[in-house]
Amino acid sequence: MEQMTALLLGGGTIVVLLALIGLGWRNRLRRQQHIGTLPEVPAVLSPAMAQVAGQYVVTTTAGDWLDRVAVQSLGVKSNATLSIHAQGVLLQRTGATDVFIPVADLVDVRSESGMTGKFVEKEGLVVLRWMLAGAGVDTAFRTRLAAESKPLQQALTDLLPDEHGTDDSSTNKDKK
Distance CA 169, CA 165 (A): 8
Distance CA 135, CA 72 (A): 14
pLDDT for 12 equals: 77
What does CATH list as the number for 50-164? 2.30.29.30
Contact 127, 138 (CB under 8 A): yes
Contact 69, 32 (CB under 8 A): yes
Task: Give the helix/strand (H/E) hosting 158.
Answer: helix 149-159
DSSP secondary structure code for residue 16 in this structure: H
Per-residue pLDDT, averaged over 21-46, amounts to: 71
Q: Which sequence spans correspond to the domains of the chain?
A: 2-31, 50-164
Give 93 or 168, the one with higher predicted confidence.
93
Task: Give the helix/strand (H/E) hosting 22.
Answer: helix 2-31
Q: What is the pTM of this model?
A: 0.73
Percent residues over pLDDT 90 in the chain: 44
Alpha helix positions (H), the chain: 2-31, 149-159, 169-175
Most confident of 6-20, 85-99, 116-130: 85-99
Distance CA 75, CA 110 (A): 20
Residue 93 has pLDDT above 60, yes or no: yes
DSSP secondary structure code for residue 167 in this structure: S
What residues form DSSP beta bridges with 111? 126
pLDDT for 168 equals: 39
Tell me the per-residue pLDDT of 111-166, one tens digit each, with 9 for 90 and over. Answer: 988 777 666 777 789 999 999 988 899 999 999 998 999 999 999 999 998 754 44
